[in-house]
Structure 1
Amino acid sequence: METNNHKIVDYSAVLNVQYGAPGTPERAKFDEEAYAFYTSQILLDARKNARLTQEELAKRIGANKSYISRIEKGLTVPSVATFYRIVNALGLTVELTPAI
């Protein structure tokens, strides 16, 4: 295993090498998959914090357990409407804040 000896590294350079420069199809695919994974983890954590099973959440939004499982694994990206149904079923809200 290599180490960087605690040097600060510009991670965008690493992403450019591994996934292509911003604006390329390869980078767009990576970004889409990363956002899907990030969203899936947020929803998974929220469901667990609400102490609901996948089946209970599925019933609340009129879906089946396997659909919730696919979302939480990042295999399926829910539509915006479904995302909001999930958020509402978990008793949460969405807040948009300016980037720093």
Structure 2
Amino acid sequence: MATKEIKTYSLAEMKDRYIGKVGTADRDEYEYELSMDVLGKMIKLARQERRLTQEELGKLVGVQKAQISKLESSTNSATIDTILKVFKALKAEINFNVKLEDNFVKLA
């Protein structure tokens, strides 16, 4: 009995096939939502490591508990200013990397 070889695909190939190629509107939206989800999880993890409630973090940042909840669940697009305030209140370092064509610009 001959064994059938199973075709495997990379994650990049699957995204290209089912979401769209890099640079398309659907792919850009997917990548943005994924980034916001990861950011929300990072905020929640840092808050929990600092043993803060959402309400306590909100007070430190100057926003309501609901805004922190929305940030953590990625249901809200936050401004960079708010994100920076949240990480500052958590005493956490955040870095942004911007890629301009083939060159990276690091913003700390």
TM-score in terms of structure 2 length: 0.78
Count the aligned residue pairs: 94
Q: Which has the higher contact order (CA 8 A, sep 6+)?
A: 1
1 CA distance for matches of 2:52 and 2:46?
Answer: 9
In structure 1, the residue corresponding to 2:63 is in which secondary structure?
coil
2 CA distance for matches of 1:34 and 1:68?
Answer: 18
More helix by share: 1
Q: Percent identity?
A: 26
2:92 alignment partner in structure 1: 92
- Unpaired runs of at least 5, structure 2: 98-105
Cα-Cα RMSD: 2.1
- Matches for 1:6-17 after TM superposition, within 5 Å: 9-17=9-17
Larger radius of gyration: 2
Give, in angstroms, the shift of residue 88 of structure 1: 0.8
Change in 2 beyond 3 A, CA 1:75/1:96 = closer
- Unpaired runs of at least 5, structure 1: none
| Runs ≥4 residues deviating over 3 A | 5-9, 95-98
More strand by share: 2
